[in-house]
Structures are given as C-alpha cells and as structure tokens.
Structure 1
C-alpha cells in the first residue's frame, strides 16, 4: 500500500538534514480547514501552534486524539521500506479527511500546553471525547523496532477513534532526550576533588572516622610556600658549601707570616 500524502512530505524531508532538532507535525480532521497556511517543508513552531490552536477553538468535531511520540524526526518516519508508522500514514490518506495539515519539520519550541483542556473549554457544554496517547520514547540502538512497537499501539487507538463519526487527530513530537557530551577532567583536578571529598566531608559527617585517619591524611605538611622555601634554602646551602670548600683549599705556609731578620733586611732598614 502506498501512502501518498505523508510519504510525499517525508520524501522532501530527506533533502533537508540541517535541522536536527526539528520534528514532524500532523493535523487531520473530518472537518475542513479554513484559511490553512501554505504547506511548507520547514515551518516555525509559533506559526504551526497558532494555526492549530485557532482551528481547535472552533470545536470542529466530537472526538479528538492527541498523539505524542517523543524524539521522532521526519527521517525516522521515512524508513527504508516506506512509512515507519503505517497506521498514521493510513489515517492521513483516509478519504474521510476534509482537512490535512502536515509539516515534516517544525523548528522551535514544541510546548503545546494542555491541549485537551483547551479543547473542552472551547467546546463548552458540547459532549466531546478527548484522548491523549503518549508513546514510548525511541531507543537509541533500535529506533525502527521501537517505532514498530509504537505503531501497533497507535493502530488500535486510531481504529477506535476513526470507527464512525467526525474526528480530529493531532500527531506531534516532543523534543528528544539531550545528547551526552563527555567531559574529561584533568587528573590533578580529580585528585583535588577527591582530597576535599575524603577529608572535609568525612570530617563533618563522622568525627570518629576523622580521628582514625593516618597523620598524613589528616594534615597537610607541605604547602606551596614551604616547598619553595625548602628549595631556596637548598640552593643557598649549596652556594655556602662551595665557598667553604674554596677557603679550605687555600695553602699558605706558616713562614710567610714571620718577620725577615736576615742581612738583606738590615741593609734595607739602614
């Protein structure tokens, strides 16, 4: 079976991969849309939400189904064998639909608020049925398998909603889970953190454990100032040692300091 409407929109989504934080938006209803915005590949969330809210405020049908599939993208729905959610594609191509608003990539904040209460408030005293379906988030290792399991759940709900009478279906995707960015810390920083955790925290929590710690874990004997002072003292002592060895190496005979009383010295005195 070919799903022309949604599959065609998702095929266009294959050429646009720059918006990794975008998500699909599908609004279907047996009631016709008035002044529907131009269908585009990429739209901002504010425009999409404004139009959807204005349509729902008219209370167009008696039954409503709001489906939330966290973390799904247009690329996920466009599987290698066609649509990855066949039940949704069949619902889009249903001939009973008089209004279709499909946006493969919606960029921006997708916080829809409490749509169910908004619909009931807009419908007033009218007897309406509003159902919400929160599908499981897609697994990072097997997204296709998770979509297949969610499609089985979605198929049963869509069959019940579209059994008879008028209906409105909204399929949306909440933002996916944030990606993990590895943060590598230098070893010296880890040692400092471990020192603070093992010392101060244990000291505050349990005084008995603090008393049993070894001496060199309880106190810090070599601060940077003391260490630099020791280095300078060693250099000065080395210089002093060289000077003392130089003085001790001098060799002067004792006769050099005695007074000369010979004939030559007497002639000089005369």
Structure 2
C-alpha cells in the first residue's frame, strides 16, 4: 500500500518541475490497495504512465472508475491547496479510505482517457455511465462502471476560482457515484496552450538578474597591449629585454666551431710532436761525400 504521506510529498515536489514546458501533471488514487510503479518519477512520458496504470488495474480492483480529463493546466495550477482543497485532501493522506496514490508532476505528451476507458471496458467489462459532471444516468449494479468527467481549461483570469469550481465538481461526482463504495480516480490533464496567458505565466517564473552596474561602466575585457608596446619602443628597460644574445644562427656557428677547433688542435699537436735533428738538413762535407761524387 502506498504511504499516506506520498501524495503530500509528491505535491511538494511540484515547484521543482515548473521549468518544464508542454507538460502537465497526472494524479491517481484509489480506495483499493494496488501495487503501482512509478512513484520515483518526477518526469515521465505518457506511454510509461499508461502502462503502469493498466498493469495496476489488471485485476479490476474497484467498482467505480472515474476517468477525469482536465484541459489546459500545468503544475502551477495545483500548488495552491485552497483552490484544489479536495484533491489535496485525497492525495495528502487526510482521506483514510484512500490506500493507493500516484502523483507525477510532469508528464510528457498526453494520456488519452479513451484508451483507459477502452481498457476498462475490455478487461473489466465496465459500463460507461455518462460524460460530464452533473449527468444522472441510471446506476447499474451488475458490472463495474465508468464515470467520465471532462472539464474545460480554466480562463486566463481567475484561474484559482475556476480550479476551485472544478475541484468541487470532482468531489461531487465522487460523492454521487463512489460514495460508500470502492472507487478509483484516474486524473489526466493536458498542458496549457501557447497563448498570451501561457507566455505571461512563463515570464512570471523567469529569473531576472539585477544589474548592479550601469551601462556606462560596462566594457569588454581586452588585453592591454599598449603598456607592453610603450616599454618595447622606448630606450628604457633591462639589458636582456633590449638585446638578444643567442640567436639560432649564432648557436649553429658556435656548434660548428667546436669540431673545427678540435681538428686544428690535433693537427698542431701532431706537428709539434715531430723530432728531427739539425744534422738531417745539413750538407755532408767529409771524405764520404767526395767518394759519392
């Protein structure tokens, strides 16, 4: 069984999803103890929610099923518990007869109520009693019944009052058709259309940062190269900033001079190591020289 506090916690999580557009909330509560998946979702697609609901209703747990379609609303319309007091009463744990609750703050795409009605008619053999609040069709005791509640989108002005009227109509339908018996409410919604009212509502939640500086003092952050240019062109500065002592050409010349100096050293060393007597270069003047002639 879902916790009674689950509905209140899910309603409290609605402000965190106000940034989503083209989404609308989904509510589900029942007097039967159902195993419903999806409690951890804050945002879900319509197909995911539909599969969870049909799986939980497979055993046809209730006698009366309320299939509600609320058009043109968003999560912000349900934040005020004064305008949706009855819905908050059922979801917030105050209604002790409610044993299963599911609240999805933001549902992407629309959940078609006709698909849920068709599933209940096929799976449970439920019969449609009527469409719209205020109808008084004959009640059938032979099979489960479906009560369809369709409401229009609240007007741009006095939305809180319109939501309060819709909330009262839903509570009246539950008292008329589900009072004293087990019932399940499947509350689907459609997102607000893109219109002037919707744009104003979006602008209301847009964060506007206050500018602490006037436009006169706003300037681009650029690199100040003028100071560096002045220091380079002027005659002032350190010695190593004004002159370049080791260029690539100078480095290559010094590198080539090293082996040349080694070769010169070896050649000079070889020449100085020669040992020749002075008589090797003198002319023979003795009797041996006269015999050779």
TM class by smaller structure: 0.5 to 0.7
Q: Using the TM superposition, give the Cα deviation of residue 78 of structure 1 relative to its aligned residue in structure 2, in angstroms.
A: 0.4
Q: Using the TM superposition, give the Cα deviation of residue 7 of structure 1 relative to its aligned residue in structure 2, in angstroms.
A: 4.0
Q: How does 1:111-190 map to 2 (within 5 A)?
A: 111-124=112-125, 127-179=143-195
Q: Using the TM superposition, give the Cα deviation of residue 133 of structure 1 relative to its aligned residue in structure 2, in angstroms.
A: 0.6
Aligned length: 177
Which residue of structure 2 lines up, in the alignment, with residue 87 of structure 1?
86
Q: Deviations over 1:134-190 (max 9, x none)?
A: 12211112211211221221221122244112111111102333426xxxxxxxxxx
Instruction: Give the whole-Å Cα distance in 2 for the aligned partners of 1:34 and 1:78.
Output: 27
Instruction: Give the whole-Å Cα distance in 1 for the aligned partners of 2:38 and 2:78.
Output: 23
Q: Deviations over 1:50-94 (max 9, x none)?
A: 111222232111111111111111111102xx3521111222232
Judging changes above 3 Å, is the alpha-carbon distance between structure 1 residues 15 and 24 closer, same or farther for their aligned structure 2 residues? same
Q: Deviations over 1:186-220 (max 9, x none)?
A: xxxxxxxxxxxxxxxxxxxxxxxxxxxxxxxxxxx
User: Structure 2: any 5+ residue segments left out of the alignment?
Assistant: 127-141, 197-293
Q: Which has the higher helix share?
A: 1
Instruction: Give the whole-Å Cα distance in 2 for the aligned partners of 1:12 and 1:38.
Output: 12
Instruction: Give the whole-Å Cα distance in 1 for the aligned partners of 2:17 and 2:116.
Output: 30
1:28/1:169 contact within 8 Å kept: yes
Q: Using the TM superposition, give the Cα deviation of residue 29 of structure 1 relative to its aligned residue in structure 2, in angstroms.
A: 1.4
Judging changes above 3 Å, is the alpha-carbon distance between structure 1 residues 83 and 7 closer, same or farther for their aligned structure 2 residues? farther
Q: What is the TM-score when the length of structure 1 is the normalising length?
A: 0.59
Q: What is the TM-score when the length of structure 2 is the normalising length?
A: 0.55
Q: Which has the larger radius of gyration?
A: 2
Instruction: Give the whole-Å Cα distance in 1 for the aligned partners of 2:117 and 2:110.
Output: 19
Instruction: Give the whole-Å Cα distance in 2 for the aligned partners of 1:10 and 1:100.
Output: 11
1:7/1:83 contact within 8 Å kept: no
Q: Are residues 1:72 and 2:73 paired?
A: yes
CA-based RMSD = 2.4
Which residue of structure 2 lines up, in the alignment, with residue 21 of structure 1?
22
SS at match of 1:9: helix
1:49/1:112 contact within 8 Å kept: no
Judging changes above 3 Å, is the alpha-carbon distance between structure 1 residues 174 and 18 closer, same or farther for their aligned structure 2 residues? same
User: Structure 1: any 5+ residue segments left out of the alignment?
Assistant: 181-270
Judging changes above 3 Å, is the alpha-carbon distance between structure 1 residues 83 and 48 closer, same or farther for their aligned structure 2 residues? farther
Instruction: Give the whole-Å Cα distance in 1 for the aligned partners of 2:104 and 2:176.
Output: 25
1:57/1:118 contact within 8 Å kept: no
Q: Deviations over 1:89-114 (max 9, x none)?
A: 22223212222111111122333433
Q: Using the TM superposition, give the Cα deviation of residue 42 of structure 1 relative to its aligned residue in structure 2, in angstroms.
A: 1.7
